[in-house]
Amino acid sequence: MVAIAPKARADSPSSQEYQVKAAFLYNFLQFVDWSEEKSADSNKPITIGIIGKDPFGNAFEPIKDKKVKGRSVIIKRFKSFEELKKSTGKDKPELGREIEALTKCHLLFICSSEQENLKEIINSVRDHNVLTVGETEGFLESGGIINCFVEENKIRFEINISAAERAKLEIRSQLLRLAKRIVEKDASQENKGAESSG
């Protein structure tokens, strides 16, 4: 959806970008299957977490009334990882609780403002059946599962299958078919191996 200028910034290409990205996230929910533990209770909503400086604005408003796999969807916003650490104190129980909240999400969108803390965030949720989605260069290489990017003014995405398998997520073929790039080897694991052996 596009609009003419002069206009308020609500119609800027950037907000259009995040309206479309929000719809992508909504679609991802339909093509990813979570483990029994996270999908057992059909009364519980599906949670999309957003960590960092939220660029979506009110882009998720329309999903209030929508359901995915028969479940409603809620949006949960988190401060930046740095601020979480500052406000709770490293290694303190409050931080543990915040991280636990991250692990409860079904999908965690890691905003570009979190580039510095990418690996730390991903490592915090990597074994907790969380679909991590990012929008930064090197996201897959850092262990993230789906990375969105803009190419030729259109949103594209790429998938790290190894990271999805490690997170015990099943990504359906319909989604894999549309990915611009599929990473089958987990570079982050390789690096980790190299570091520990070296």
Which residues of the shown chain bind another protein in the complex (CB under 8 A)?
1-20, 22-24, 26-27, 31, 53-55, 57, 62-63, 66, 77, 112-113, 137-138, 150, 152-156, 174-175, 178, 180-181
- By beta-carbon proximity to another protein, the closer residue of 118 and 163 is 118
Compute how many other C-beta atoms are within 10 angstroms of the C-beta atom of residue 12.
Answer: 12
* Vertex 87: Cα angle to 83 and 89 (nearest 5): 105
Show the 3-state SS of 64-85: HHCEECCEEEEEEEECCHHHHH
- By beta-carbon proximity to another protein, the closer residue of 6 and 93 is 6
Could you tell me the smallest distance in angstroms from the CB atom of residue 195 to another protein?
Answer: 19
Contact 28, 146 (CB under 8 A): yes
Could you tell me the smallest distance in angstroms from the CB atom of residue 17 to another protein?
Answer: 5
- By beta-carbon proximity to another protein, the closer residue of 152 and 195 is 152
Could you tell me the smallest distance in angstroms from the CB atom of residue 93 to another protein?
Answer: 25
Could you tell me the smallest distance in angstroms from the CB atom of residue 9 to another protein?
Answer: 4
Residues in CB range of 138: below 8 A, 6 or more apart: 118
- By beta-carbon proximity to another protein, the closer residue of 35 and 87 is 87
- Output b/e per residue, 165-188; b: 16+ Cβ within 10 A: ebbbbebeeebeeebeeebeebbb
